[in-house]
């Protein structure tokens, strides 16, 4: 880089600093840590070294999911005394923000294309629990809609993700991956069925930079890849127990062409080549400062 170019970059940085513009840093890895001797927390982790950069304590008894909006604000889902709530995360603790009597047994959450918050919950129907997705208006905190699963669409939902087509994909540990219209809740069909060319127990899902769908199979301790447009099986992207993977609970693609997977049964975060599935190393393993890592998300934070 020339001296002239370096001077231009430094000048631009100075102008932005003086003007008070908030810059978002490059994507960082956020990890949910629950259980163990320490209280539940959301932790910022250096995805290359595994070093803990910052820890946000959570007031909730159990933390189940994490998401970050376009402005870099962190939200988590959890429960206290049996009631679900979505909290805004900030130093030193996460403060409750959104809740509703219908919000029980929370799961993971995602920020929708319009900025609303979608979260997995449970609904009690005729004495039986079924999966449901609730939609909260981020600006007002009001419950803005949602839909409940059935025997045909799944009753044990484990994760959710928005696809490149703007539709909402929900993994069910028995049936596979379901597809819904997030605006109406209309069921659009089984996108990836469980079975010989599908997951035994879908525990997490994520769309990759290539537009394809990656599904973690908790029972097989593997990650499968499917065509992001058709749902057709492509390959066993991460074979069973590669790199020590046991009970995958969450998937997250980093900006360095790497796929990060939380391995729940041995309290680890493992890293794989996001193009080939080859194991590239452990980010964390049995770290006493980060017990039971579960959900992962990459986000640009202030």
pLDDT at 250: 96
pLDDT at 136: 94
Asked if the structure places residue 90 within a domain, the reply is: yes
Total count of domains within the chain: 1
Q: pTM of the entire structure? A: 0.88
Asked if the structure places residue 232 within a domain, the reply is: no
Asked if the structure places residue 192 within a domain, the reply is: yes
Whether residue 255 contacts residue 26, with contact meaning beta carbons closer than 8 Å, is answered with: yes
Q: Whole-angstrom Cα distance, residue 95 to residue 102?
A: 20
Query: Bigger pLDDT: 159 or 64?
Result: 159
- CA dist list (Å): 291 to 161, 286, 287: 25, 7, 6
Asked if the structure places residue 229 within a domain, the reply is: no
Overall residue count recorded for the chain in this entry? 302
Range of the domain at 103: 36-216+284-300
Give residue-wise pLDDT tens across range 213-247.
999 999 999 999 999 999 999 999 999 999 999 99
pLDDT band at 67 (very low <50, low <70, confident <90, very high): very high
Residue labelled with tokens 């964390």: 284
Does residue 20 register a pLDDT over 90?
no
Q: Whole-angstrom Cα distance, residue 258 to residue 275?
A: 8
- Percent above pLDDT 70 for the chain: 87
Asked if the structure places residue 271 within a domain, the reply is: no
CATH code for the domain of 81: 2.130.10.10
Asked if the structure places residue 136 within a domain, the reply is: yes
Asked if the structure places residue 170 within a domain, the reply is: yes
Asked if the structure places residue 273 within a domain, the reply is: no
């Amino acid at each position: 880089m020339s001296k002239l170019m370096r001077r231009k970059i430094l000048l631009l940085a100075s102008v932005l600093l003086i003007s008070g513009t908030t810059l978002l840093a490059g994507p960082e890895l956020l990890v949910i840590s629950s259980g163990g001797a320490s209280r539940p927390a959301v932790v910022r982790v250096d995805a290359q070294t595994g070093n803990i950069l910052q820890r946000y304590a959570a007031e909730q008894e159990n933390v189940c999911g994490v998401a970050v909006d376009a402005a870099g604000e962190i939200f988590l889902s959890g429960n206290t005394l049996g009631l679900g709530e979505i909290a805004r995360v900030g130093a030193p603790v996460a403060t409750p923000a959104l809740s509703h009597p219908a919000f029980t047994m929370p799961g993971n959450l995602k920020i929708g294309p319009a900025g609303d918050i979608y979260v997995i919950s449970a609904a009690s129907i005729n004495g039986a629990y079924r999966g449901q997705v609730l939609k909260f208006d981020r600006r007002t905190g009001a419950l803005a809609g949602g839909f409940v699963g059935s025997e045909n669409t799944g009753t044990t939902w484990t994760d959710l993700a928005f696809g490149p087509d703007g539709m909402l994909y929900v993994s069910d540990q028995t049936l596979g991956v379901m597809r819904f219209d997030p605006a109406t809740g209309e069921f659009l069909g089984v996108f990836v069925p469980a079975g010989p060319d599908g997951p035994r127990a879908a525990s997490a899902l994520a769309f990759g930079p290539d537009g394809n769908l990656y599904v973690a199979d908790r029972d097989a301790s593997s990650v499968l890849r499917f065509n992001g447009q058709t749902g057709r099986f492509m390959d066993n992207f991460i074979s069973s127990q590669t790199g020590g993977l046991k009970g995958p609970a969450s998937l997250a693609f980093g900006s360095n062409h790497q796929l990060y997977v939380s391995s729940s049964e041995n309290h680890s975060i493992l890293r794989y080549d996001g193009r080939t599935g080859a194991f590239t190393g452990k980010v964390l393993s049995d770290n006493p400062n980060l017990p039971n890592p579960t959900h992962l998300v990459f986000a640009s934070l202030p």
